[in-house]
Structure 1
Amino acid sequence: MTRTAIVTGAARGISAATARRLAADGNAVAVLDLEAGQCAATVAAITDAGGRAIAVGANVADARAVTEAVAHVEAELGAPTILVNNAGIIRDNLLFKMTEDDWDSVLSVHLRGAFLMSRAVQAHQVAAGWGRIVNLSSTSALGNRGQANYAAAKAGMQGFTKTLAIELGRFGVTANAIAPGFIVTDMTRATAERVGVGFEDFIAQNAKEIPVGRAGYPEDIAAAASFFCSEEAGFVSGQVLYVAGGPRA
C-alpha cells in the first residue's frame, strides 16, 4: 500500500536522506523546507530513482503555513499518514551570551514546529486508523555545553513524543523519537568552522570518542526512521532510539 509521508527540514542532511529512504520504501514523499526551491535536489533524487515526491515550502513555526502545507500535500499526494519532524536550527552560545531571540527561535522551530505539524497530520492519521510520527531529538538532550536552547528543545521532543504515543496509540498511530549522535552534515561542518577546526579533523576528533570508531551519516538515521515508519513497527511506540555509535556517544 502506498502511503504519503511528510519530512520536514528535508532540503539537506538527515531529513533529505530520510525522505529518499522513505521513498525507496514505497511511500510518496512531501519534501518540506522553508523554501520549496531548496528542496529541488531531494525531490530530483527521489523522482530520478522512480519515486514520487513534491517540494513544499513552509515555515513550520507558522500555524497558517502548516495548515496550508498539509492541505497542499493532501491534494497532490493524498492524505499524509507518516510524519518525520526534523526541521530545526541552531543558535549556539554559552548561557550568559545567549539572547532571548537565540532561545525563542530555536524552541519555536523545533518544538512549536513539531507540535503544529503533528497536530495537522494527526487528523489524517486518526481518520485512516494508521499513522507514524518520528521526531528527531539528539544526544544533546542529555546536556551539551553552549547549547542550552538546543538541548532544551531536543529534550522537549522526547517528552512530546511519549505524550503523542499515549494519546494517539488507540487510533493506530505510533510516535517515536530518534536521538542522533555525531552525524556528518552541513550543520556539523558549520560547528567545525565556528570553533576553528578543519572539518576532516573535527570528524576524526569526534570519531575517537565513539565506541564503534566512526562518525555517523544521514543514512544511519534514515534507516532508523524507515523502521519506525514501517508496518512491522506497529507495536513500538513512545521510544527514544539513540543512534550514536554507543551508549555514551
Structure 2
Amino acid sequence: MNEEPVRAGRVALLAGAAEGAGLATAVRLAASGMDIALVDPGPGAPAEETLRRIGATGRGCVTVSADPSDTAAFSAALAHVRSVLGRPSVLLTCVGGTEDAGKGHGGAPERYAAARRALRTLFVTNRAVAQEMLRGGGRILNVVRPSSPERGGGRGDRTVVAGTAGFTASLAPELAPLGITVHFAAPAGVRPGARPPIGAPPPTDTGSYPDNIAQYALCLLDGPSAALSGQGAYLSGSPMARWPAPATTPTSRGTVATS
C-alpha cells in the first residue's frame, strides 16, 4: 500500500518523548514521510541520535525544550513548531509513573505527584494540539512508558495507566465528530487485572516496547483507522529500542534544532 499520500508532508508532534518509545516512533514517522517536532523538558543524548537519524531520512525536525505539563510553556512550544514546520496533525504524548517518582522508590506522596503530573501532561498536550487539528482532523496517541527493564510496573504505573485509559475514553467521543481520533498504549505488564499464569515461562522474544509502539502508531495513521477511536493497546517488549539503519533519501528539507 502506498503510504505517501497519507503521511508525506504532515507534521507529528511528540511530547515528553526524549527517550524510548517517543524516539523510536519519531524515526519511524520520519521514514514514512512526516516532519517531526520533539517537545521535552530536557532532550539529551538520545535525542541527538534521533536528530541524526531523522536527518538521514531527509525530513524536517525541530526540538523544543519545554515542559509539556505547563500550559504556557507548551503553548509557546506549539507556536514555534507551527511557525517552523506547520500545524501538527499527529500527536504522541509519552507519560510515565514510577520513573518520575524516583525510579519507583518514592513513597505515596511522590507517586501521587507523578501521577498528577502525567495526567496534567495529557490534558495540556491533547487540548492544545486538538485545537490545531480542528481544520483537517488528526490522530492522537497517548503512551505510558514502562518503568524499568526489571519490573513490569509498580503502583505508580498502574495509576497512570488507569488515568490514561479513562482520559482517552472520555476525550475520544468529544473529538470523533471533528475527525480527530484518540487512542492509548501501555505496557502489557501493567494492564489492569493482568496476571501471568503460575509457572509459565517468560516469552522468548516480543521485540522492544518502543518499536512496538512505533508500529502501532503507524497503523493508526492508515486511512481505515479513521473509523476507530478510544481504543487501548497493551503491548509487550523490552524497554530498549532496536535501532534499524535508516534509509537515506536526501531532500531539500533540513533538520532544525532549537532550545
Q: Deviation per CA, 1:110-151: give whole Å up to 9, x if none.
A: 2111110011100011122x11000114789xxx98722221
What SS does the aligned partner of 1:234 have?
helix
The residue number in structure 2 matching 1:101 is 110
Q: What is the CA–CA distance in structure 1 between the aligned matches of 2:124 and 2:67, rounded to whole Å? A: 10
1:4-52 C-alpha deviation (Å, 9 max, x unpaired): 1111233221110011111112111102221245532212210122222
Query: What is residue 140 of structure 2 aligned with on the other side?
Result: 133
Q: When the two structures are superposed, what TM-score results if normalisation uses the length of structure 2?
A: 0.74
Decide which of 180, 185, 189 is 1:173's aligned counterpart.
180
Do the aligned residues in 2 keep the contact of 1:31 with 1:43 (CA within 8 Å)? no
Q: Secondary structure at the match of 2:135?
A: helix
CA apart distance, 1:109: 3.4
Q: Secondary structure at the match of 2:91?
A: strand
Provide the C-alpha distance between the structure 1 equivalents of 2:85 and 2:52, rounded to a whole number of angstroms: 16
- Give unpaired runs (5+ residues) of structure 2: 1-7, 190-199, 238-259
CA distance in 1, matches of 2:38, 2:222: 19
Q: Which amino acid aligns with 1:223?
A: Q
Deviations 1:167-190 (A, max 9, x none): 0000000011112336xxxxxxxx
What is the correspondence of 1:1-249 to structure 2 with a 5 Å cutoff?
Answer: 1-36=8-43, 39-88=47-96, 90=99, 91=101, 93=104, 98-104=107-113, 106-128=114-136, 130-137=137-144, 147-181=154-188, 208-210=201-203, 213-217=204-208, 218-244=210-236
Q: Give the conservation status (yes or no) of the 8 Å contact 2:96–2:118.
A: yes
User: CA, structure 1 residues 226+109, in 2 after alignment: closer, same or farther (shift >3 Å)?
Assistant: farther
Ranked by relative contact order (alpha carbons within 8 Å, sequence separation 6 or more), the top structure is 2
Structure 1: distance between partners of 2:152 and 2:17: 27
TM-fit CA distance, 1:59 = 0.9
TM-score (norm 1): 0.76
Post-superposition offset of 1:85: 0.8
2-structure distance, mates of 1:244, 1:2: 31
Whether the 8 Å CA contact 1:133–1:229 is kept in 2: the answer is no
- Residue correspondences, number: 212
Q: Is the 8 A contact 1:33 1:57 kept in 2?
A: yes
1:219 partner letter:
D
Cα deviation per residue 1:79-121 (whole Å; 9 max; x = unaligned)?
1111001143522557xx61413420x1133211111001110
Q: Which amino acid aligns with 2:207?
A: G
Larger relative helix fraction: 1
- With over 3 angstroms needed to count, the CA separation of the structure-2 counterparts of 1:72 and 1:87, relative to structure 1, is farther
Letter in 2 for 1:98: G
The unaligned stretches of length 5 or more in structure 1 are: 183-206
Q: Is the 8 A contact 1:36 1:57 kept in 2?
A: yes
Does the Cα contact within 8 Å between 2:95 and 2:145 map onto a contact in 1?
no
For residues 236 and 154 of structure 2, the distance between their equivalents in structure 1, rounded to whole angstroms, comes to 18
1:52-77: CA deviation from partner (whole Å, max 9, x where unpaired) = 21111111111111111111110111
Cα distance in 1 for residues equivalent to 2:83 and 2:76: 11
Is the CA contact (8 Å cut-off) linking 2:17 and 2:38 kept in structure 1?
A: yes
